[in-house]
Each structure stands twice: as C-alpha cells, then as structure tokens.
Chains A and B, each alone.
Chain A
Amino acid sequence: MFKLDHKFILIGASATAILLTGCLSSPSNANEVSAVVSPSSNAAVGHYAIKNKTAIDGGVTYERANGVETAYRYNEQNTKGVSFGRVATANEIKAWDIDALPDGTGLPEGEGSVEEGDELYEAQCASCHGDFGSGGNGYPQLTGGNQEKDENGVVKTLKNQRVYGSTDAPKRTIGTYWPVATTLFTYIRDAMPYATPKSLTNSETYAIVAYLLAQDGIKIDGVEMDDEFVLNAEKLSKVVLANRNGFYPDIDGKNGTDATENVRAFFADRAANIGSGTRCMTDCKDPGGIDGKTEASVVKIGYEMSDVSPAYSTVRDLPPEVEDKSISKAEKMYNDSCKLCHATDQMGAPAVGDIAAWRDVMVKGQEKVIYNSINGMGGMPAKGGNPDLLPSDVKLIVEWMIDSSKEH
C-alpha cells in the first residue's frame, strides 16, 4: 500500500506540469503525512536500531551491539583495563579547579569595594562596555534595564518581542537577565579583561563584581551597595538576581524533583516547548500574525548586508598577484624555467651551488655567459627553452645563479 503510494508520488513528481498546481495526492488522501509512517521510513537506508526513544535531549540513541552501531562498525573487544595518564596531584587540582557554583562553593578568599571596582572598571572595562556598564561600543551592555516583574514574577521587559510593529528589544543585562552572580566572578577573573585575561587578582575581581552589581541596585541581605560596600565570597553567595527563576527546564531539581528527568520531560514535548512542524503535503495552511489567523505573505530583505570580507564572488579566475617576498623574482624565474636542468649536474648543465663547476663556466667572463644563455649554446637552448623570457630576465636569472654558486 505504502509502496504503491510512494511510487505514485515519484511518477507524479517527475511530471513538472502538475508541480505548481499542487494536485499531487498523498497517502490515504489525508493532506498530512506522519513522519513516522511515511513511505521512506520503511526504507533500510537511515533506519537504524534505536535503543532509547526518550533521550534527555528529546532525540534517539542508537543500539550498539555485535560490533555494529547504525552505519558504523566498531571493535567490540573489551576495552576495560585500558588505562593511561597519571593521577593528578592535590596541588594540580587546586591550581585548576577554581570554578564556583551558584551557592558560592568554590569562591576564593579576597575582597574588594565598590569604590575600588569603579576605578578598575574605568581603567580596564569602560572602553568596551561603556560608562557604568551601559554598553554602546558594540560590546555587551552589562548593566541597566528595568528589573520590574509582572504578577507571575517574570521580568516584564523580557517579554518584549520585536514583532507586529513593536520595536522595543528585551534587555539582557546582569540586572534583568543573568540568573546567578557567581558566574560574574568566575567569568571576569578567567576571561577578562578581553585582551589580558586572567590578569586580575581575586580581590580586584570582587571589586569589579561589586561595582557592576551596585550599578544595577542589587541589595545583599537588604543592604544597599554604596561606595564603601566590600564584597567577598560570603556576601557574593547571598546575591539573588532578579531573573534567578527566569529559566526552564528546572536543572536544579527544585522541590525534590530529579533535574535530569525535568530536562527529559521538557524535551520530550518538543511540539509544545520548542516548536515543531507537520508533514502536510497538499493545500497546506499556515496562518499566523497577532490574531493567529493572518495568512502568510512573502517578506523580502529590508536592509541588505554588503559589508562582507572577502567580497562575494563565485568567479574562478587567477587571484590578484601577491608578491612572494620570501623568494626573489630571479629565483622564481629560475625555478620556472631553468631549475629542471640546473638543479643537479645530471643533465650535464652546471648545477647551481656547484662552486667548482661555475668557476669553470665563469672563465669565459660574465658577459659571455649571459650572452650564451640568451642565445643558446651546445645543449643549452636559447633562454633555457622559454621564449617568453626577456633578455633582461635571463640576465637577472644568470646573475642569481652565479651569485648562488660562489663562495660567500
């Protein structure tokens, strides 16, 4: 049944006259075809043994058995017991394991005030991130934005959508968007300043974090962060940012839930949570718009980006000549026209670099050697057999060959 329908589709598809009128029939007369039972899903190609249909990401995982996994073979011999490397020393782990968790675990000792942070920020951060973290130079805006929440505890401005004529963008700053403040500390210490990452001390980092949090009016334990406020590990771990609960699925396993299962459940319902399509084949409707009923139309590019590097081109031609500075013009011409015979003495020609051979050649005098090279002599064709060379080119080449065959 399916096979027959499939065949029909293929035959229909080859007749282009009906393509645009869209009168192709689909299996069982329905205008929607399930991805699962489509004709092509019965084909062996790309149809692999599935082990898990509810993988954490919503996808499938494949069976690995008898040396075969999907289209791949693998060595099924036991690898248990393969062991290389050495145990990490305690000091090595201490040196590298400097990350911090949202609850403050892992934050180092040290402290810094808002005022110290102000100075450091002005000197090392403002040129990119703008005064007070306000952005404006093309690099991320760090602070600002309205943190006010709606009745459901959602930061109101994050609901802004630039669609249906609305032009207000949602602001994604530390104050409005970032979920946790420990991220600020580790990121600034490990990855900033941009051109000299890892140059700030722990205390300097606390100071900059304090300064940025103060710009967004963050309170710690109900205390406002004024210029004298000093931030350390304990205080930073108490910061609660406005958007702490603005993310899903729940990866923290709140209220005793299993974080992994929360994620799995979220991605299991992809149609509801991230959007999915349907395999409609004929007379498909796709309404949208603010009312959900507006028919789709064709939207063209409003502003075309042309600032592209390298410039667009699909032409196959010779690239613009780039001078090879590592090699002289004479040597390049030698390589192209003379090297075949003169690289060694195998061809009976004096080899470049053979000091004795060239001493014998030079007995005639340089002018005569150049004359012979241009006009030919014995087994040596005129201009080395390359008529495109100018006499002046040959002169350059011979001078280079002589120079390369002298004692220096």
Chain B
Amino acid sequence: MNKEFETEELASVSRRNFFKRTATVSAAAAATIIAPATLLADDENIMHHTKWGTSLGKECNYNPYGLPSKYEHNVVRRTSPLMSSAGDMHAAISMTPLHELNGIITPNGLHFTRTHNGVAEVDPNKFRLMIHGLVEKTIVLTLDQLKRYPSESRVLFLECPSNGAAEWKGPQFGSLQFARGMMACTEWTGVRLSTILDDLGLKPEAKWMLAEGSDGSEMSRTLPIEKVLDDCMLVYAQNGEALRDEQGYPVRLMAPGWEANLCVKWLKRLEFGDKPWYAKEETSKYTALTASGLAIQHFYALETNSIITSPCPEKPWTDLKVGDLVEIEGLAWSGHGTIRGVDISFDGGKNFVEAHLKGLVLPKAWTRFSYMYKYEGKPLLLQSRSYDDSDNVQPTVNQEKKVVGVEGVYHRNAIHTWAVDAKGEVTNVQVRS
C-alpha cells in the first residue's frame, strides 16, 4: 500500500512539474532567454518507481544455465541464403554480430559457425582420437585421457578465410555483421600437440599431418609439421566451458592464426606422413585462384587486418551533435603475429593518423584500437589500416587486387571503408579503381 502511495505521489509531483515547466517556458520565451535546464522534461523513468523495483525478482537460479537479458534478443548470429548452398542451412555460415561485441572476447553463443554437413552432435563417451602414421607409438585417446595431459589456454581469433569474400569485386553488405562477421575471438584451452608428440615420438621423415573430422563431411586438412610443433593445440574448452557443438564438441584442432577451416572440428584422427594428402577442402576449395590462372594452395595464416566497429552501419552516428567528442573503435588482428598499431584515415586513404591500441595486446588475437574524434557533421570516408610485428601492413583494395586479382575468394584483407554522411549514417563503400 505504502509503495503504491509513493508511486502516486511521485507521479503527481511529475504532473505539477510539468505545469510549472510549461509556465517557465512561456515566461522564458517572452523574455527570449532560454535556460536549457528548465526546458528539460522530467524523465518518466526517474519520476516513477520501476516494475522491477517494486516486485520480487526471479529466483536466484531460475535458469541453471544463464542466458542474456531478454531485451538482448537482437544480439544474435545472422545468416542468409547467400551464405549457404541453395539456401540449405546445413552447409552454411552464420555471422558474429561484431557491432554488439565489447573487448576482445566473443561469447560462445555468438561465435560464427561454419558447417559443411550440419552441426554434428558427438557423444563424448563414444569420442575417440587416433594418432598414428609416422610416430613411434600409435595411440587411441578417450576424452578423459586427452584431458589428463597438461593444459594451456590461449586467447586466439578464429577467422574463416572467406571472411569478406563476397566483396572482392565491390561492396555488397550494408552491415558490419555480414561484411566481416566470419570471425570471433575466444580463450581456448587444450593440450599442445607437441606435449603429446613428446610421448609418441615423431619419426624424422614425418613432414605433414592430416587432421580429420568425424562429422558427415569428414573434414580433412593437411598441415606442415613445423606449425604442429610450434603452437597447435587439441582444444576441448572455449571461454572456460566445453566447446559448443557448433565449434566441434568435444575436441577440435587449433592452429593459431591460421584458416579456421584448418582448425578441424569434431576431431577424430591425426595421421603423420611424408607427403601432403590433397584433401577436397585444400584443393577444389580453400585455394586462392589468382589473375595468373594459378592458385595459391596451403594458404595458411590470415593476414593483418582491421575493421572499424564504431561507427558502422548498425551503429551509426545519427545521435551525435556537431562538436560531440566521440570514440572511434575497432578490431585489428593478424595470423602472422601481434598487432603493432593501427592508422586511421578520414578521407578515404589520402592521409592517416595513428590510433591507439587498448586492452590486452596478444599474438594472433583481436586487438582493440581507439581514437577520440570531434564530430563535425561532415561526410567522411573512414578507414583503418593495421600493421603487425611480422612487418605486414594491411593493403588497400588496389594493392591487394594488383597481386592476387579478384577471383581468389579467400584471404581478403584489404582496407575497409565506411562512408559517413552528413547525418551520421554509415554505409559500406570501397575506395578502388
């Protein structure tokens, strides 16, 4: 009863203020003196008790596996028939909502998903991993046995080499999510392959490793031993919990910085050999046809790349007033190493200034960059250009096109341009000739 009374009281105060305010406005108008504070209407959200403040909330553990607020229902992966074979969503890809992410960690439920034969649901009790070929000892591991090996954790981006593939010939998506959403960055936990190979003993003639998945597509890829021994992992956890089915539960290969397709999901078998296998997804697909008519094969690392995430088409500057100081923010990443820095252009690449890196700067992980900008309400051509500790600088569209042409499908890392118009609307354009 008391609560209801208070609500009433607040409401009536609000109404009284309304009349008072109206009177003030009239008086102010007459005197042509406007004091902005008195013009402001009282916010109903402040003047009234809220529903959630005047009732009992849900039970503490009402949802034993927590979910985002129901108000966040639009923060989801999205897809389109264009991202599939003939609209068939078993061989398809869904995109991470980059415009809604913060920091460098992607929540597991928003991690982009690529499947070639649907999402396999592997029974962990029936999971077996076989490691054989040119090793002194072949083994079969259960999931529990794999987890007995000492673990390591790494924050790593994972990117489909087709990220941005639809835009080789020009801009196509009026959306950050679709223009660049075939990537995510999470903390992966598992066993270094070198730790297991220490026990098995690699034969000296072993040069390549075949990784094979257990799903319907039997995804297979060949990797060179050097990478396997350097930093490849067999991962079973992502952001502290078991891999999601979509990410290869219970175990996937992790080749840091390399094509996500090489990080074979629903892993089943590793074989060591002296020759590469020429699996389907490293011959007919995942090879980059260049203008010479020849194609790059075994195209491993994703090159240095960056994208401005704020503003973007989904999060424009339409609410800004001229003179507002606003942060430009974005993501940079490189499969070759660590991001050293990012430059920003406001005029479509004629002139650049240095942005600032912020937060954790980790190898082969998303790195946030930031730049404070005073909004002028004028059209801009916003670009970001990253560079890494392996001496790579992100190319322009023309620079990349000159070397590899426009039919390669994979590994597009050209500088991206957002056009910001006078109203603050953001569209996807390309600066090219």
List chain A positions with a Cβ less than 8 A from chain B: 6, 9-10, 12-14, 16, 19-20, 22, 24, 35-36, 38-41, 45-48, 50, 53, 55-62, 70-72, 74-75, 79-88, 92-93, 96-97, 99, 101-102, 128, 137-140, 150, 154-156, 158-163, 169-170, 172, 174, 177-180, 182-183, 186-187, 190-191, 194, 197-198, 246-249, 251-252, 259-260, 263, 267, 270-284, 286-289, 292, 294-305, 307-310, 312-319, 340
A sample of 15 inter-chain contacts (CB < 8 A) reads: A9-B354, A35-B340, A41-B389, A84-B149, A97-B271, A101-B275, A179-B297, A180-B278, A260-B226, A277-B399, A279-B387, A288-B401, A288-B432, A298-B430, A308-B80
Contacts of B216 in A (CB 8 A): 191, 194, 197-198
Q: Let me know if B86 is at the binding interface, CB within 8 A.
A: yes
Q: Known pairs A88-B132, A186-B280. 10 more at Cβ < 8 A?
A: A82-B195, A93-B130, A187-B218, A275-B400, A277-B415, A279-B343, A298-B431, A305-B172, A308-B80, A310-B78
A308 to B76, CA, bound (A): 12
Chain A, Cβ-Cβ closest to B212: A99
A278 to B392, CA, bound (A): 8
Chain B, Cβ-Cβ closest to A78: B198
Which 6 A/B pairs are nearest by Cβ-Cβ distance? A138-B86, A22-B351, A59-B336, A288-B398, A46-B361, A275-B403
Our pick among B133, B258, B389 for the contact of A48 (Cβ within 8 Å) is B389
Interface residues of B in 262-288 (CB under 8 A from A): 268-269, 271, 273, 275-280, 283-284, 287
Interface residues of B in 186-235 (CB under 8 A from A): 195, 198-199, 207, 210, 212, 216-218, 220, 224-227, 230-231
Contacts of B404 in A (CB 8 A): 274-275
A22 to B149, CA, bound (A): 55
Interface size class of B (residues with CB under 8 A): 35 or more
Q: Let me know if B390 is at the binding interface, CB within 8 A.
A: yes
A307 touches B82 (CB 8 A): yes
Contacts of B321 in A (CB 8 A): none
Interface residues of B in 101-158 (CB under 8 A from A): 116-117, 130, 132-133, 137-142, 145-146, 148-150, 152, 154
Contacts of A177 in B (CB 8 A): 284, 289, 295
Most interface-central of A71, A279, A308 (chain B CB within 10 A): A308
Contacts of A80 in B (CB 8 A): 198-199
B389 touches A38 (CB 8 A): no
A92 touches B353 (CB 8 A): no
A301 touches B427 (CB 8 A): yes
With A247-B295, A297-B433 as contacts: A87 and B137 at CB distance below 8 Å: yes
With A40-B354, A277-B385 as contacts: A316 and B71 at CB distance below 8 Å: yes
Q: Let me know if B339 is at the binding interface, CB within 8 A.
A: yes
Our pick among B74, B297, B406 for the contact of A316 (Cβ within 8 Å) is B74
Q: What's the least CB distance linking A98 to chain B, in Å?
A: 10
Q: Let me know if B378 is at the binding interface, CB within 8 A.
A: yes
Q: What's the least CB distance linking B42 to chain A, in Å?
A: 23
Chain B, Cβ-Cβ closest to A47: B389
Stretch of B16-24, B246-254, B365-373 lying at the A interface: B365-373
Contacts of B171 in A (CB 8 A): 299-301
Contacts of A283 in B (CB 8 A): 350-351
Contacts of A16 in B (CB 8 A): 373-374, 376
Contacts of A81 in B (CB 8 A): 199
Our pick among B76, B142, B278, B400 for the contact of A182 (Cβ within 8 Å) is B278
Q: Let me know if B164 is at the binding interface, CB within 8 A.
A: no
